[in-house]
């Protein structure tokens, strides 16, 4: 929206993020599975892609075929390029219940 419109206010943005987190926790509209430290974490592709170049590239590289229900991304133990280890950044991005 335009600057100052309801769609760009900090409160609105915060509410959108809270709603997306609640949807993820309930499994609503989740369309990707992340395998991290032996655990499966369900997530929203658009949120991951918007939050991380690593996930954007991983998701763009996934070719969906009819037998593929959805992408599954396995995180390596270490991913270079960030100040924090990928495992820690992933935990921050996708806090478990």
Question: What pLDDT was estimated at residue 2?
Answer: 60
Task: Return phi, psi of residue 35, to 5°.
Answer: -100, 115
Is the pTM value of this prediction over 0.75?
no
> In whole angstroms, what is the distance from residue 16 CA to residue 78 CA?
30
Query: Residue ranges of the domains in the chain?
Result: 28-93
Smallest CA-to-CA distance from 60 within 46, 77, 41 is with: 46
41 burial level (CB within 10 Å; 0-12, 13-18, 19+): buried
- What pLDDT shows up at residue 92? 46
- Judging by DSSP bridges, how do beta strands 39-43 and 72-74 pair with one another? unpaired
CATH number of 28-93: 3.30.710.10
pLDDT per residue as tens digits for the range 12-35: 999 999 999 999 999 999 999 999
Q: What is the three-class DSSP state of 60?
A: helix
């Amino acid at each position: 929206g335009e600057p100052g419109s309801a769609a760009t206010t900090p409160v609105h943005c915060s509410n959108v993020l809270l709603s997306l987190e609640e949807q993820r926790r309930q499994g609503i509209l989740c369309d990707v599975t992340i395998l991290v430290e032996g655990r499966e974490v369900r997530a929203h592709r658009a949120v991951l892609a918007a939050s991380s170049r690593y996930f954007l590239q991983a998701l763009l590289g996934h070719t969906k075929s009819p037998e593929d229900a959805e992408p599954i991304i396995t995180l390596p133990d270490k991913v270079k390029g960030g100040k924090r280890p990928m495992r820690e950044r992933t935990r921050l991005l996708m806090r478990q219940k």
